Amino acid sequence: MALRTIESLGSLTGKKVIVRCDLNVPLKEGVITDDGRIRASLGTLRLLLDQGAQVIVISHLGRPKGAPEPQYSLAPAASRLGELLEIDAPLAADTVGEDAQRLVGGLEDGQLVVLENLRFNPGETSKDDAERRAFAEQLASFADAFVSDGFGVVHRKQASVYDLPQLVPSAAGLLVANELEVLERLTSAVERPYSVVLGGSKVSDKLGVIEHLLPRVDSILIGGGMLFTFLAAQGHKVGSSLLESDQLDTVRGYLADAEQRGVSIVLPSDVVVAASFSAHAEHEVVPADGIEDSRFGASGIGLDIGPETAKAFASVIRDSKTVFWNGPMGVFEFAAFAEGTRSVADALTDVDGLSVVGGGDSAAAVRTLGFADDRFGHISTGGGASLEFLEGKQLPGLQVLGW
């Protein structure tokens, strides 16, 4: 079956359309630090508003525990959404309560309301099918149709993602359709050489994607905190760096499998080691096999790939026709340990082919480091969803849309 798109819903003029967006933006003291996910939702919302639909936006933000928590209110996101759309975007004080009913009931064609954080209601993330379904039914009572446009949550079996689209006519929004189109280019008819750059803190988060991609790629470049488990698997000491000892045998298996397949797993030749995990910690560059030979000894902690590695990674990336990158190369939030990530991002902008930044921390990193979105082929809005797609998993939020 093919993915159902908005066109399949017919005319939406005068219809109430509930849209599952992903407005889960990072906040610092109540201020949005990256509005990329809000901007990504504008295409679908403008399309529906221009058609004369009455739009009900739903989303989560953060991880509240099934009850209202003021720091997780969608108020900043609703305010920014209204600014970008240049319309009023009132926020209901609840999810399906009296205020939500009042605002939804007062909608006119071409108008929009935002319901409060879905995760303020325990039904949204409940493992109990009946509780989740009951919340979905309350949401469905507001709408004539449903549009799924929060790609960052399509791998979740949650009320607004999985149950709701089964209760009213439903389709994928422009964002979800575009994400799928790009990610399918990473799994079928791929232009080679095909390189995957993996970083972030934990090997365990990337096990599935490494296993699934090994038969499909030419190179896998390993950075971030996960690199130290790879180094340890080769017998090197890693000081106080992040290490998942329980994954050493698995990593050795991947290294052997890659060698057998002729896939190049590129590991750092040098790393930046610091005295402690802090922005202004003393640090030095050392060979990857000599971390404990630094002046910090066994207490040294690796916080970035080194300049020699950054140059080598950039060379592989620039020589590739297809590149997927998920996970920063170091602690990019600290200026002293951001150069590895900056080097990878810069190389991606030079790819003569498809370059994909795989959401999550990678997307935050490129924006934090000053790169414009349009310098990359695609910046995904869903890190976890992108990884699970590339692992070959069935994603519940897409299955219910016919995919």
* Residue 39 among the catalytic residues: no
CA distance 80 to 327: 27
Angle formed at CA 45 by CA 41 and CA 50, multiple of 5 degrees: 150
Instruction: Name residue, tokens 């939702």.
Output: 41
Residues whose CB is less than 8 angstroms from the CB of residue 345 and which lie 6 or more positions away in sequence, other chains included? 357, 365, 366, 369, 371
Specify binding-site residues for ATP: 206, 302, 333, 359-362
CA distance 302 to 275: 9
* Residue 384 among the catalytic residues: yes
* Residue 367 among the catalytic residues: no
Instruction: Catalytic residue, from 360, 382, 383, 397: name it.
Output: 360
Specify binding-site residues for substrate: 22-24, 37, 60-63, 119, 156
Instruction: Catalytic residue, from 157, 202, 321, 393: name it.
Output: 202
Instruction: Catalytic residue, from 97, 208, 377, 384: name it.
Output: 384
Specify binding-site residues for (2R)-3-phosphoglycerate: 37, 119, 156
Specify binding-site residues: 22-24, 37, 60-63, 119, 156, 206, 302, 333, 359-362
* Residue 393 among the catalytic residues: no
Instruction: Catalytic residue, from 4, 20, 37, 132: name it.
Output: 37
- Annotated catalytic residues are 37, 202, 360, 384
